[in-house]
Chain A
Amino acid sequence: MADIVFDGIEKRFGTVAAVARFDLDIGHGEFVVLVGPSGCGKTTSLRMLAGLEQPTAGRIRLGPDDITDRPPRERNIAMVFQSYALYPHMTVAENIGFSLRLKRMSKREIAAEVAQAAATMGIEGLLERKPRELSGGQRQRVAVCRAIVRRPQAFLFDEPLSNLDARLRASARAEIRTLQQRLGVTAVYVTHDQVEAMTMADRMVVMKDGHIQQIGRPLDVYAHPANAFVAGFIGAPAMNLLPLARAPFAAAGPADALVGVRPEDIRLDPASCIRPQPFQARLRHVEALGAESLLHLDHDGLALQMRLPGSWQGAELPQFFVDAARLHLFCGRTGARLPASV
């Protein structure tokens, strides 16, 4: 049985539809990531689940209960905010224990719960500090701690890693995922970072302009994007999307179609392709990343990116190949995936 159900949820601000016809079932203990560019409606959807925004239409269920009209305090949902939203005038311990204080638990019980939650996140030594005395990573841990101390039915995360540096973000991703699995609590996570979505999600929901573009497991979405937007958004570097008529390699499809090829599906060795298609392109620039190299190619004004394992040791004018068995085709008008795609 689904733990959280969005049933035809819509949110309009005046004439603008921030979220349109949002249907999603989230299973118990599942980690679902809403991902999309700024303004796609992912945070609005999360805030409606939290009770911080009221949907214009549709219902939201949590377990067996319809919670659409309940205020946040009656939903048993905890949220970690992008800015962490720690109360500046309270110590870390007071921040973590605030929700318990509002439930009128005794000071002893609160202290015990706070100590346990702090131990879970390894922040026992910070309990008497004020938020301004903490680093970004420590604040993020306190914010997570404040969420888990309530033992909620669901965790909501609103871009909680966006204020951390890249190195800390990588470790925090793993930490949040491990914690969620250990606690077995359903989690809904919002991010604009497709790497976070790919690495953390059981399922991801790709959104654009208030509409769901695709729901699926990360590797399925990556391998079979539902449309050109998803193809371009998921994957770093993004999929190369070219008008079929101008593509440097042959592909079967309508004349106005878009053909997509992942950077790793452009090869130098035809033996590594099932159906190799040779093409010529000018090498404009190489980004050496150590474990891999990104080659920026140009064919008749069309830019392509290619990913190679290791460092680039190639010739000045190499021959490139695409694997025709790994091309993606999208309708040039609607962007929808065409059946001829892999």
Chain B
Amino acid sequence: MELTRPWKVIGHALLTLASLAVLVPMALVVLAAFKPHNEIFSSVPWPQNPTWGNFVALFRDMPFGQYLWNTAGTTVLRVGGQIVIAILTAYGFARWQFRGRDVAFALVLGAMMIPHQLTMIPIYIMMGNLGWFDSWTALIVPNLAMPFAVFLLRQHFLAFPPELYDAAEMDGAGHWRALWLVVVPNLGPALSALVVVLFIDCWNEYFWPLLVTDSDHARTLQVGIRQYLQEEMADAYGPLMAGVTLVSLPALAVFFAFQRRVMDTFVSSGLKG
């Protein structure tokens, strides 16, 4: 149904307000990152004497590079692992007939509905028993199985043209080679959308790394910046804003680069499922 002009104007006004509500705080953070210490609480939102000093302080006064390495490393390994596991699991659910398949898939869907906070304490205890505290392993392994990713990819596998599976089989491919040589290369849009979502989810994660890391050795950026600035540089809001700006950049860049693909994938998975 075509909207009339007044409703269009109202709609656009509301969307503009909602966008501003998100964008203004972000802009203030970025602008504050370039303010010297004495301008941080100034009522003028932009820096009158812009400086890179806050960024320099980040690398000089705290192990920002180590945090960045921990975050990037664990994110790459975790997202890679999540994708591989999700592809294999989703393919099994979509293509194989086996006893208990539907029950198993229902359990996977059920796992999507259990709040993460509910399972944190048992997993936390498990990490302790395994001696994995304060390591990349604790940041990566408990999060490798992502029910949401399995669900999303299964929908795409189900919508994949069955003749291509058949053609691959006729050409001599077993399940393994059909999956990696024919199916996965044609899942480009879905996979890139999934990578974006998983990347942002992992990159921005705060609570789990806060629980299982205890030193700069494994601490991620999100936790590190807050803890370091709270404990070592209590009133250093400039470096804090610089840190937040830097931390946000990769996630924002990835999202803006792939946002259309992300939307298309989720819309189509809903329709095709």
Contacts and interface: CB of A to CB of B under 8 A. Distances in A.
Interface of A: 47, 50-52, 71-73, 77-79, 81-83, 85-89, 98-99, 102-103, 146, 150
Contacts of B185: 89
A83 B161 CA distance: 10
Interface in B27-78: none
Does more than half of chain B's interface fall in helix, strand or loop, or is it mixed? helix
B192 interface: no
Contact of A102 (B161, B166, B173, B186): B173
B169 A51 contact: yes
Instruction: Tell me which of B161, B166, B177, B186 has the highest count of chain A C-beta atoms within 10 A of its own C-beta.
Output: B166
A79 B186 CA distance: 21
B164 A87 contact: yes
A236 B231 CA distance: 89
A102 B164 contact: no
23 contacts: A47-B166, A50-B166, A50-B170, A71-B169, A71-B174, A72-B169, A72-B170, A73-B172, A73-B173, A81-B166, A83-B161, A83-B163, A85-B166, A85-B167, A86-B167, A87-B168, A87-B182, A87-B186, A89-B185, A99-B170, A102-B177, A146-B171, A150-B171
A83 B181 CA distance: 20
B172 A103 contact: yes
Nearest to A98: B171
Contact of B171 (A52, A82, A83, A99): A99
Nearest to B177: A102
B184 to A, nearest CB: 10
A125 B28 CA distance: 59
A81 B167 contact: yes
Contacts of B170: 50, 52, 72-73, 77-79, 99
Contacts of A79: 166-167, 170
Those 4 A-B pairs whose CB atoms lie nearest each other, nearest first = A85-B167, A85-B163, A99-B171, A73-B172
A3 to B, nearest CB: 18
A78 B168 CA distance: 11
B161 A85 contact: yes
Nearest to A86: B167
A79 B171 CA distance: 9
B163 A102 contact: no
Contact of B186 (A50, A89, A98): A89
Contacts of A83: 161, 163
Contact of A52 (B164, B169, B172, B182): B169
A102 B161 CA distance: 21
Contacts of B172: 72-73, 99, 102-103
Nearest to A89: B185
Contacts of A51: 169
A78 B164 CA distance: 14
Contacts of B168: 87, 98
A133 B47 CA distance: 54
Nearest to B182: A87
B173 to A, nearest CB: 6
A102 B167 contact: no
A89 B177 CA distance: 15
Contacts of B186: 87-89
Contacts of B174: 71, 73
A99 B185 CA distance: 17
Contacts of B167: 79, 81, 85-87
A301 B92 CA distance: 58
Contacts of A71: 169, 174
A93 to B, nearest CB: 14
A291 to B, nearest CB: 38
Most buried by B among A82, A87, A103: A87
Contacts of A85: 161, 163-164, 166-167
B116 to A, nearest CB: 36
Given A87-B164, A88-B186, A98-B171, 6 more contacts: A72-B170, A73-B171, A77-B170, A79-B170, A85-B166, A146-B171
A71 B172 CA distance: 9
A79 B172 CA distance: 12
A184 B166 CA distance: 25
Contacts of A50: 166, 170
B189 to A, nearest CB: 12
A311 B84 CA distance: 68
Given A83-B161, A88-B186, A89-B185, A73 B166 contact: no
Contacts of A98: 168, 171, 181
B93 to A, nearest CB: 20
A203 B96 CA distance: 37
A79 B166 CA distance: 9
* Among B164, B171, B186, residue most surrounded by chain A Cβ atoms (within 10 Å): B171
Contacts of A150: 171
